[in-house]
Amino acid sequence: MKLIDGRKTAELIKEEIKKEIAGMIDKNDKSPHLAAVLVGDDPASQTYVSGKEKACKKVGMMSSVYKHPANISEKELLEVVDFLNGDPEIDGFIVQLPLPDHINEQKVIEAIDPRKDVDGFHPVNLGRMITGMPAYIPATPLGIMTLLERYEIETEGKNCVVIGRSNIVGTPVGILMSRKSDPGNATVTLCHSKTENLKDIAAQADIIIAAIGKAGSVTADMVKKDAVVIDVGIHRIKSNQTKTGYKLVGDVDFDRVSKKCSYITPVPGGVGPMTIISLLTNTLKASKKEIYG
Ligand code: NAD
């Protein structure tokens, strides 16, 4: 079994981005600028946004955070989005999800200018992705595809089972794996909570992508010998083996599955670090106007 090291791959890409930005600054171009809109005080959202800020700093990108209280109205938030759409200093921005219940998330996503939608959640970017046009690809699926590419894992003609159909992970990664591209060209089965015989379907897979949101739910009997296993899940569970009393685990029963498969992403250190770096990749593309010209 070989580990797919997301941390190391993300570091390599970080260096590549840093070098490219240094080159831009040398030529008197402005460095790319990513903004994040943070609503309320959800600790997980705060952690994600501060992680993104730190990552920007490390590569020489500018970053700004627009913080708003949880009781901001939908209309006010749409005005913030409109402001960022029109601000020429900002190359790309994200609205950190989830939003409070009184705000229609989809309405906010659709208000973002697709040219600045570096999260790739806008229907225009999703539609462009489906039809194979240049598009911002959502960060986690882009991170997964980058890992498959950098580890030169053959996907063409392979039987790929994606477990989970969320708009941010399962559905887009299923589309990317089936697209006429490299990596891609796989035969994809997209499984979800209503799938019958998940175990039998997963056991046929050459490549399993697990984005279920349930710790350890992909067990060894669901995995064919020498399959490639990509674990997207992240869960903080109690542990008496760590100082903090917690440890991070994925959707896959790593200890048993890793004995059977050919490649596996660990948690932590697999898909997670690739997600932030993919957001930076998208922001760099936005500043170079690579997608929309
Ligand atoms: P989600 O809850 O939106 O979607 C989960 C999907 O799993 C759903 O489509 C559901 O139909 C499916 N599902 C649930 N139970 C199932 C079952 N028993 N059998 C088959 N399918 C089942 O979750 P999400 O946002 O896609 O995230 C999935 C996991 O990935 C979570 O643990 C999340 O924390 C993690 N995540 C990690 C990153 C990262 O950067 N590593 C990014 C996003 C999400």
Q: Are 93 and 118 spatial neighbours (Cβ–Cβ below 8 Å)?
A: yes
Cα–Cα distance for residue pair 258/228, rounded to 1 Å: 10
The Å distance, Cα 158 to ligand 1 centre, comes to: 23
Report the atom number in ligand 1 closest to the C-alpha of 217. 18
Global pTM reads 0.97
Report the share of the chain in percent with pLDDT over 90: 99
Q: Which residues contact 184 (CB under 8 A, 6 or more apart)?
A: 145, 155, 156, 176, 177, 178
Measured distance CA(154)–CA(141) in Å, rounded: 17
Residues 103 and 174 in one domain: no
Q: What is the pLDDT of residues 239-249, one digit of tens each?
A: 998 999 999 99
Query: Which of 113, 131, 149 is the C-terminal boundary of a domain?
Result: 113
Confidence of residue 105 (pLDDT cuts 50, 70, 90): very high
In tens, the pLDDT along 52-84 reads 999 999 999 999 999 999 999 999 999 999 999
Q: Residue 237 is inside which H or E element, if any?
A: strand 235-238
Q: What is the mean pLDDT of residues 172-180?
A: 97
Look up residue 293 and give its DSSP letter: -
Residue pLDDT, tens place only, 237-287: 999 989 999 999 999 999 999 999 999 999 999 999 999 999 999 999 999
In a domain, 39, yes or no: yes
Residues 108 and 151 in one domain: no
Give how many domains the chain has, as a whole number.
2
pLDDT (tens digit per residue) in 196-221: 999 999 999 999 999 999 999 999 99
Please give the span between the terminal C-alpha atoms of the chain, in angstroms, as a whole number. 43
Distances (CA, A) of 150 to 145, 153, 159, 274: 9, 8, 20, 12
For residue 172, what are its two tokens?
């887009």
Closest-CA residue to 134 (of 111, 151, 108, 115): 115
Q: What is the pLDDT of residue 149?
A: 98
Q: Of all protein residues, whose CA lies closest to atom 30 belonging to ligand 1?
A: 233
Q: For position 213, what pLDDT does the model report?
A: 97
Centroid of ligand 1 to alpha carbon of 287 (angstroms) = 31
Identify the domain containing residue 72 by its residue range.
28-113
Nearest CA to ligand 1 atom 34: 234
Query: Do residues 175 and 129 make contact, with C-beta atoms less than 8 angstroms apart?
Result: yes
User: What angle in degrees, to the nearest 10, is found between the helix axes of 170-178 and 139-150?
Assistant: 40
Please give the single-letter amino acid code of residue 57: K
| Within-domain flag for 118 | no
Q: How far is the CA of 212 from the centre of ligand 1 (A)?
A: 3
Is residue 162 domain-shared with residue 62, that is, in the same domain? no
pLDDT at 130: 95
Instruction: Tell me what pLDDT residue 236 has.
Output: 92
pLDDT digits (tens, 9 = 90+) for 121-145: 999 999 999 999 999 999 999 999 9
CATH code: domain of residue 51: 3.40.50.10860
pLDDT, position 233: 97
d(CA 262, ligand 1 centre) in Å: 23
**How would you class 198 by CB atoms within 10 Å of its CB: exposed for 0-12, middle for 13-18, buried for 19 or more?**
middle
What CATH number did the domain enclosing 249 receive?
3.40.50.720
DSSP 95-130: EPSPPPTTS-HHHHHHHS-GGGBTT--SHHHHHHHH
Final residue belonging to a domain, choices 113, 131, 153: 113
Q: Are residues 146 and 202 in the same domain?
A: yes
Residue 219 lies in a domain: yes
Residues in contact with ligand 1 by the CB-under-6-Å rule are 140, 163-166, 168-170, 191-193, 195, 198, 211-214, 232-234, 271-272, 275
Instruction: Report d(CA 256, CA 254) in Å as an integer.
Output: 6
In a domain, 153, yes or no: yes
Question: In testing the pocket of ligand 1, which one of 232, 252, 279, 280 has its CB within 8 Å of the most ligand atoms?
Answer: 232
Q: Are residues 56 and 176 in the same domain?
A: no
Instruction: Round to whole Å and give the CA distance between 76 and 66.
Output: 12
- In this structure, the answer to whether residues 80 and 146 fall within a common structural domain is no
Could you tell me if 95 and 207 lie in one domain? no
